[in-house]
Amino acid sequence: MTDTITRISKLEEQVGELLELCQKLGNDNKDLRAQLQTLTSERSNLIESKEKVRVQVESMITRLRSMEKA
């Protein structure tokens, strides 16, 4: 009887630890998803900025070439 109670107590403890781990992993997952969303947004903004700068540089190069020919 005591052995059974000990085993049940041990099992309850393990289930409690498992629940804590699941909660921690859930929180970590939520944080990582938020971080991914932020990084994805930043990446999109950087790509947009890079494209604007590329267009400006190409425009400057075109103007310089036209000045060179004049």
The whole-angstrom separation of Cα 56 and Cα 62 is 10
Q: Using 50, 70 and 90 to split pLDDT, how confident is the model at 70?
A: confident
pLDDT in tens, 6-17: 999 999 999 999
Q: Where does 1-70 show beta strands of DSSP type E?
A: none
Q: Residue 54: its pLDDT value, please?
A: 98
What tokens appear for 48 in the block? Answer: 């947009």
pLDDT in tens, 20-65: 999 999 999 999 999 999 999 999 999 999 999 999 999 999 999 9
